[in-house]
């Protein structure tokens, strides 16, 4: 595992922007994308806020610059937009040689269309909306739209899905199965997830307050992000300048509860420690942590305790969930993309809506923007149901 | 390079495959386009208090995993990789149905919690207290092979010594109706044993839970070694299937006559079967050939049944009559090639060695 893995392209679409630049400027300006739900058809429209992307599906289709002759799921459309950006950023506009792979993550796949379908199905068995339901379909649509014919697969591990897609891609490169691979994830807002998280009573009706003593829950968001990972050989063959390096990763299980995180954050602690240790890094090598920080009582306590126990009091960390909402299967990739931006541009995005220190913690998140700072290494956390904890480390080259 | 062995298997399928004393001798015939698993008496494996909270797919997964671990004489694997095409469908449908019928109000979270794809792998991590990697691959029809490749890489990197790898999918009545109406299935009352004699498109829907313990060492010479797992994409404009298979064999320093048996993914649908048939009368004409989807049905992780079949054939040194396609039989079966085709012209190849 000594071979380096480079990042040569990034693509993002989220509620704070339809491309990398728009996302970057929103982070700099502290502009949240969370607000009233306009497009998702739900009875909870006026009850909850969300990080909704304000483009209708036909508008998203136009953004992909590809003609569609059948309805595609919103998840696939978002994925196509972000993956195309990442490829173009990496100068891989036509990856038809079969050497570029695609590892995509999603939790609900084409659920937006399944909901429509199921509604009709109960009455009339209308079938056109059922085809995109399997998670792999969004990946296949992205592969088709971007011309990727190499190895492609789909990872679905709840809210850590796209961090695990990045780990899977990294493993395929270090084992020389692939030279370059597009990794990331995509998830659209759906009634299924909105009602699911509502039934768990962990949705905040206002914009979420990660790591605040009075946090009330998470906001859902939607989006997609992809990174292009490349081996050293591929980099020198293509004569590319990397944006940064993926210098550590780990996936660990909390082995505590199906949905809840352990109160001592053992899985989070294990994931962060392993990502450092296995790759010969120390806690002092990390300049910034982009926390999972969903704004729920349980996650922020568990994660905060793990961060404090491992890094002590001086570590700078923030959650960007109050910008984008929790984008589920896309969250790990969107935050990985943000981590790459912090290294590229030398800034730390603020943890919005933080007012009061959590009682059980001695650390507080960075609540103001820091600019003009040299960031050499960033650690990004993504945690999910099933006790699934992943940490990624990005380094300046 | 480290060698990777399959040191234990456990499988629940529409055939009598779990803890069976015979190897595919009593074949189950169904007259339906949906063939369900022969489920065990769950209370022999799972405490009754846990059973009540578990969905059918979780129970099948749990038992198959337990049997695989017992077979490998292993208490706890280092990591878990699960493949599932559609995840916990019954709970997904249940939550979706409640949501629609109750107009998004008064919903019970249990079905939502259990609907997540990684509930299957997460549940095993909890039961077995496995704190390392816990991945779930959900990539349609080649998803099991993707999980298998990731497990192989984990072991080859030397970080882990035992990785539990499974393929799990379930049938629900609604999905059966949906895929039947989409034209993916044969007639309602087809016999599974006549699958290859019913021309046209469509297959029969199946399900299963199959687990394998993959290890970087073995104390038994009875079990198989996984030589290689690979994928290729066939561009329809330029048929490269034969070249790709030969290249795969060459990479493993093999020629076609070194393969004692090829197990192909015939599923009754001409789109796929015509490709297998052409290989069968061409590249593989001198090779013993077997098929299996008439026994387990077609489902996104049905390749896990094929892997179990291959491992069992190497162990027992018998090719059951029910799977044999031609009259060729090797006396000494040492090397098996598994070939499966998914939608979008993606192919998978697995090399198994004794």
ipTM of the predicted structure?
Answer: 0.95
Q: How far is CA A149 from CA A82, A141, B346, in A?
A: 18, 11, 9
Inter-chain touch B100–A115, beta carbons under 8 Å: yes
Cα(A106)–Cα(A213) distance, rounded to whole angstroms? Answer: 31
The pLDDT score that the predictor gives to residue B352 is: 98
Inter-chain touch B113–A98, beta carbons under 8 Å: no
Kindly report the number of other CB atoms within 10 A of residue B331's CB atom: 6
Question: In Å, how far is B164's CA from the nearest CA of chain A?
Answer: 15
Q: What element of type H or E holds B228?
A: strand B225-233
Nearest CB to A43: which of B104, B113, B344? B104
Inter-chain touch A384–B117, beta carbons under 8 Å: no
The fraction of chain A above a pLDDT of 70, given in percent, is 94
Which residues on chain A are in Cβ contact (under 8 Å) with B298? none
Q: Which DSSP string do the residues of A24-88 spell out, in sequence order?
A: HHHHHHT----EE--SS--TTTTT-EEE-----HHHHHHHHT---SS---HHHHHHHHHHHHHHH
Q: Which DSSP string do the residues of B96-145 spell out, in sequence order?
A: HHHHHHTTT-S--HHHHHHHSTTHHHHHHHHHHT--S-EEEE--GGGHHH
Q: Which residue of A has its CA nearest to B137?
A: A155
Cα(A220)–Cα(B151) distance, rounded to whole angstroms? Answer: 33
Distance between terminal CA atoms of chain A?
A: 18
Q: What element of type H or E holds B346?
A: strand B346-353
Nearest CB to B136: which of A125, A133, A156? A156
Inter-chain touch B87–A135, beta carbons under 8 Å: yes
Helices B89-101 and A191-199, interaxial angle, to 10°?
90
How many beta-carbon pairs under 8 angstroms link A with B? 182
β-pairing verdict for B288-291 and B261-264? parallel
CATH superfamily of B226-353: Thiolase/Chalcone synthase (3.40.47.10)
A246-395 in CATH: which number?
A: 3.40.47.10
Phi-psi region of B19 (alpha: psi -120 to 50; beta: other; left: phi over 0): left
The pLDDT score that the predictor gives to residue A127 is: 55
Inter-chain touch B100–A122, beta carbons under 8 Å: yes
Cα(B92)–Cα(A246) distance, rounded to whole angstroms? Answer: 35
- At residue B41, φ and ψ (nearest 5 deg) are -75, 100
The three-state secondary structure class of A365 is: coil
Tens digit of pLDDT at every position of chain B (354 positions): 689 999 999 999 999 999 878 899 999 999 999 999 999 999 999 999 999 989 999 999 999 999 999 999 999 999 999 999 999 999 999 999 999 999 999 899 999 999 999 999 999 999 999 999 999 999 988 999 999 999 999 999 888 999 999 999 999 998 898 888 888 999 888 999 999 998 889 999 999 999 999 999 887 777 899 999 999 988 766 789 999 999 999 999 999 999 999 999 999 999 999 999 999 999 999 999 999 999 999 999 999 999 999 999 999 999 999 999 987 777 799 999 999 998 778 899 999 999
Q: Which of B139, B164, B231 to mutate to test the interface with A (most CBs of A within 10 A)?
A: B139
B5-215 in CATH: which number?
A: 3.40.47.10
Cα(B244)–Cα(B240) distance, rounded to whole angstroms? Answer: 6
A198 closest CA partner among A47, A37, A6: A47
> Catalytic: A159?
yes
8 Å CB contact between B261 and B325: no
Nearest CB to B140: which of A136, A157, A171? A136
- At residue A138, φ and ψ (nearest 5 deg) are -65, -40
For the cut 80, the answer to whether the pLDDT of residue A353 exceeds it is yes
Q: Largest alpha-carbon pair distance within chain B?
A: 64
B58 closest CA partner among B110, B16, B6, B19: B110
Question: In Å, how far is B57's CA from the nearest CA of chain A?
Answer: 16
Catalytic residue chosen out of the listed positions A135, A159, A208, A244: A159
Which residues on chain B are in Cβ contact (under 8 Å) with A387? 122, 125-126, 134
pLDDT tens string A255-300: 999 889 999 999 999 999 999 999 999 999 999 999 999 999 999 9
Q: Which CATH architecture has domain A5-238?
A: 3-Layer(aba) Sandwich (3.40)
Catalytic residue chosen out of the listed positions A133, A135, A244, A326: A326
Q: What is the pTM of this model?
A: 0.96
Nearest CB to A42: which of B104, B135, B178? B104
The DSSP secondary-structure symbol of B333 reads -
Inter-chain touch A198–B107, beta carbons under 8 Å: yes
CATH fold match for the domains B5-215 and B226-353: yes
8 Å CB contact between B249 and B258: yes
The pLDDT score that the predictor gives to residue A1 is: 45
Inter-chain touch B125–A151, beta carbons under 8 Å: no
Inter-chain touch A157–B87, beta carbons under 8 Å: no
Give the lowest-confidence range in A58-62, A133-137, B74-78.
A133-137
Q: How far is CA A96 from CA A144, A176, B230, B250, in A?
A: 10, 19, 19, 24
Which residues on chain A are in Cβ contact (under 8 Å) with B87? 135, 156
Higher pLDDT: B16 or A150? It is B16
Nearest CB to A171: which of B117, B129, B153? B153
Which residues on chain A are in Cβ contact (under 8 Å) with B181? 125, 127
8 Å CB contact between A75 and A188: yes
Q: Where are the domains of chain A?
A: 5-238, 246-395
Handedness of CA B307, B311, B317, B320 (dihedral sign): negative
Give residues with Cβ within 8 angstroms of B283, minimum separation 6.
Answer: B242, B245, B246, B256
Nearest CB to B99: which of A149, A191, A267? A191
The pLDDT score that the predictor gives to residue A120 is: 65
Cα(A186)–Cα(A105) distance, rounded to whole angstroms? Answer: 6
Q: Which residue of B has its CA nearest to A132?
A: B140
CA contacts within 13 A on the Cβ side of A53: 31
Q: Which residue of A has its CA nearest to B233?
A: A149
Higher pLDDT: A117 or B197? It is B197
Q: Which of A183, A196, A261, A279 to mutate to test the interface with B (most CBs of B within 10 A)?
A: A196
Q: Which of A155, A163, A170, A178 to mutate to test the interface with B (most CBs of B within 10 A)?
A: A155
The three-state secondary structure class of B73 is: coil
Q: Which of B86, B99, B181 to mutate to test the interface with A (most CBs of A within 10 A)?
A: B99
Q: Cα B180–B186–B187 angle (5° rounding)?
A: 90
The pLDDT score that the predictor gives to residue A130 is: 61
Average pLDDT over every residue of A211-223:
98
The pLDDT score that the predictor gives to residue A126 is: 53
Q: Where are the domains of chain B?
A: 5-215, 226-353
């Amino acid at each position: 595992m000594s071979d380096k893995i480079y990042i040569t392209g990034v693509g993002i679409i989220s509620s704070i922007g339809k491309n990398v630049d728009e996302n970057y400027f929103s982070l700099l300006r502290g502009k949240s994308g969370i607000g009233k739900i306009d497009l998702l058809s739900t009875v909870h429209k006026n009850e909850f806020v969300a990080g909704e992307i304000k483009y209708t599906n036909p508008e998203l289709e136009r953004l992909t610059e590809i003609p569609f002759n059948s309805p595609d799921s919103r998840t696939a459309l978002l994925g196509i937009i972000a993956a195309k950006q990442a490829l173009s950023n990496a100068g891989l506009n036509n990856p038809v040689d079969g050497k570029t792979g695609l590892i995509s993550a999603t939790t609900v796949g084409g659920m937006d269309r399944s909901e429509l379908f199921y509604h009709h199905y109960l009455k009339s068995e209308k079938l056109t909306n059922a085809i995109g339901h399997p998670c792999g379909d969004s990946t296949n649509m992205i592969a088709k739209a971007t011309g990727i014919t190499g190895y492609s697969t789909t990872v679905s591990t709840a809210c850590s899905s796209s961090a695990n897609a990045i780990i899977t891609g990294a493993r395929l490169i270090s084992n020389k199965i692939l030279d370059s691979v597009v990794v990331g994830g995509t998830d659209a807002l759906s009634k299924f997830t909105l009602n699911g998280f509502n039934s768990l009573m962990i949705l905040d009706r206002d914009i979420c307050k990660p790591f605040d003593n009075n946090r009330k829950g998470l906001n859902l968001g939607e989006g997609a992000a992809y990174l292009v990972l490349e081996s050293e050989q591929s980099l020198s063959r293509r004569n590319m300048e990397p944006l940064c390096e993926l210098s550590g990763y780990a996936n660990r299980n909390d082995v505590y509860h199906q949905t809840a995180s352990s109160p001592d954050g053992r899985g989070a602690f294990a994931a962060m420690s392993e990502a450092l240790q296995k790759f010969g890094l120390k806690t002092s090598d990390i300049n910034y942590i982009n926390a999972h920080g969903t704004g729920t009582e349980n996650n922020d306590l568990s994660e905060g305790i793990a961060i404090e126990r491992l890094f002590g009091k001086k570590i700078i960390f923030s959650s960007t969930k109050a910008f984008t909402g929790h984008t589920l299967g896309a969250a790990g990739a969107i935050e990985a993309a943000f981590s790459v931006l912090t290294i590229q541009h030398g800034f730390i995005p603020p943890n919005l809506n933080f007012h009061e220190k959590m009682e059980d913690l001695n650390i507080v998140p960075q609540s103001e923007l820091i600019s003009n700072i040299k960031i050499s290494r960033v650690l990004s956390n993504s945690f999910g149901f099933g006790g699934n904890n992943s940490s990624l480390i990005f380094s300046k080259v | 390079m480290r060698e990777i062995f399959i040191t234990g298997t456990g499988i629940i399928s529409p055939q009598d495959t779990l803890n069976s004393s015979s190897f595919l001798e009593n074949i189950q015939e169904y007259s339906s386009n949906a063939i369900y698993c022969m489920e065990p008496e769950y209370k022999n494996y799972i405490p009754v208090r846990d059973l009540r909270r578990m969905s059918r797919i979780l129970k099948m997964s749990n038992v198959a995993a337990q049997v695989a671990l017992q077979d490998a004489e292993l208490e706890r694997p280092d990591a878990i990789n699960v493949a599932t095409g559609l995840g916990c469908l019954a709970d997904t449908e249940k939550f979706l149905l409640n949501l629609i019928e109750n107009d998004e109000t008064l919903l019970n979270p249990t079905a939502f919690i259990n609907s997540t794809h990684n509930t299957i792998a997460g549940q095993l991590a909890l039961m077995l207290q496995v704190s390392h990697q816990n991945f779930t691959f959900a990539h349609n029809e080649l998803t099991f092979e993707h999980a298998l490749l990731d497990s192989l890489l984990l072991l080859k990197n030397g970080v882990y010594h035992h990785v539990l790898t499974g393929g799990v999918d379930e049938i629900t009545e609604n999905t059966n109706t949906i895929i039947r109406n989409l034209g993916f299935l044969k007639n309602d009352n087809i016999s599974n044993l006549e699958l290859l004699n019913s021309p046209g498109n469509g297959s029969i829907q199946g399900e299963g839970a199959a687990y394998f313990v993959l290890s970087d060492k073995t104390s038994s010479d009875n079990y198989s070694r996984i030589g290689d797992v690979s994928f290729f994409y066939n561009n329809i404009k330029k048929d490269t299937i034969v070249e790709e298979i030969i290249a795969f064999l060459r990479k493993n320093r093999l020629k076609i006559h070194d393969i004692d048996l090829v197990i192909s993914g015939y599923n009754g649908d001409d789109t796929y079967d015509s490709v297998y048939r052409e290989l069968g009368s061409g590249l593989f004409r001198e090779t013993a050939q077997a098929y299996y989807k008439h026994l387990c049905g077609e489902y996104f992780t049905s390749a896990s049944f094929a892997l179990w079949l291959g491992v069992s054939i190497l162990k027992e040194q018998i090719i059951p009559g029910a799977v044999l396609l031609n009259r060729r039989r090797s006396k000494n079966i040492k090397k098996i090639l598994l070939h499966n085709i998914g939608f979008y012209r993606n192919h998978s190849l697995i090399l198994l060695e004794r």
